[in-house]
Chains A and B, each alone.
Chain A
Amino acid sequence: ELKVEQNPLFLSMQEGKNYTIYCNYSTTSDRLYWYRQDPGKSLESLFVLLSNGAVKQEGRLMASLDTKARLSTLHITAAVHDLSATYFCAVDYYNTGNQFYFGTGTSLTVIP
């Protein structure tokens, strides 16, 4: 069974702090995506990671991919309130017709 798991599920952090969200997946894939979702809104694409060792950064967010460990991380540096949202990772499994399997989501609250 294909599984994508994130931890933590809930994260409350103070402004200015650093933290990492983890995404583990159960079956080989070399394509991983991170999305952001604000309450009541749709999903916004953050990062596309297409190979082992890929690292991408945008502002205070940095994502990386280790396909051998089947692990991706989303690192938050010096958090600000505007980063409060739910973050999802998704894995693209070729053998299942290129559908995306989404993780459970991490609900992030940044406290001023």
Chain B
Amino acid sequence: DTGVSQNPRHKITKRGQNVTFRCDPISEHNRLYWYRQTLGQGPEFLTYFQNEAQLEKSRLLSDRFSAERPKGSFSTLEIQRTEQGDSAMYLCASRRTGAEQYFGPGTRLTVT
């Protein structure tokens, strides 16, 4: 296993379109996290899963955002009706309980 992977790495979309990102965590990690990072800022927590259960969502996660982890393995993050303010790097991380988080390479979203 080579770490956390994310696809696509870059996504350019027009305002109002829907986009979906995928994250494949390290296989033995039970926890999976999504973050958003804008230029010059630290990552901001969006949501996290323990196995297939979504246990917490940030207030940043509007109703246009939805995340799933259907079998406790990979996860998807969907943004509906994208807005220019959604342009950011979306980072996925995974961890075993109590251990450090390992980050994927990120998906850079540009909404035009």
Contacts and interface: CB of A to CB of B under 8 A. Distances in A.
Interface residues of A, number: 20
A104 B56 contact: no
| Main DSSP-derived SS at the A contact region | strand
Interface string B37-72: 000111111001000000110000000000000000
A99 B97 contact: no
B1 interface: no
Contacts of A43: 43, 91, 93, 103
Nearest to B42: A102
A45 B97 CA distance: 16
Q: Report, nearest first, the 4 A-B pairs whose CB atoms are least far apart.
A: A102-B42, A97-B56, A43-B103, A42-B103
A20 B55 CA distance: 36
A98 B97 contact: yes
Given A43-B91, A105-B42, A99 B106 contact: no
A97 B105 contact: no
Given A41-B105, A97-B55, A97-B56, A102 B97 contact: no
Interface residues of B, number: 23
Given A99-B45, A105-B40, 15 more contacts: A33-B101, A42-B91, A42-B103, A43-B93, A45-B100, A45-B103, A48-B99, A48-B100, A88-B43, A90-B101, A98-B97, A98-B98, A100-B45, A102-B44, A104-B41
Interface of B: 31, 33, 40-45, 48, 55-56, 91, 93, 97-106
A43 B97 CA distance: 19
A101 interface: yes
Contacts of A88: 42-43
15 contacts: A33-B100, A35-B103, A41-B106, A43-B103, A45-B102, A48-B99, A88-B42, A90-B101, A97-B56, A98-B31, A100-B43, A100-B93, A100-B101, A102-B42, A102-B43
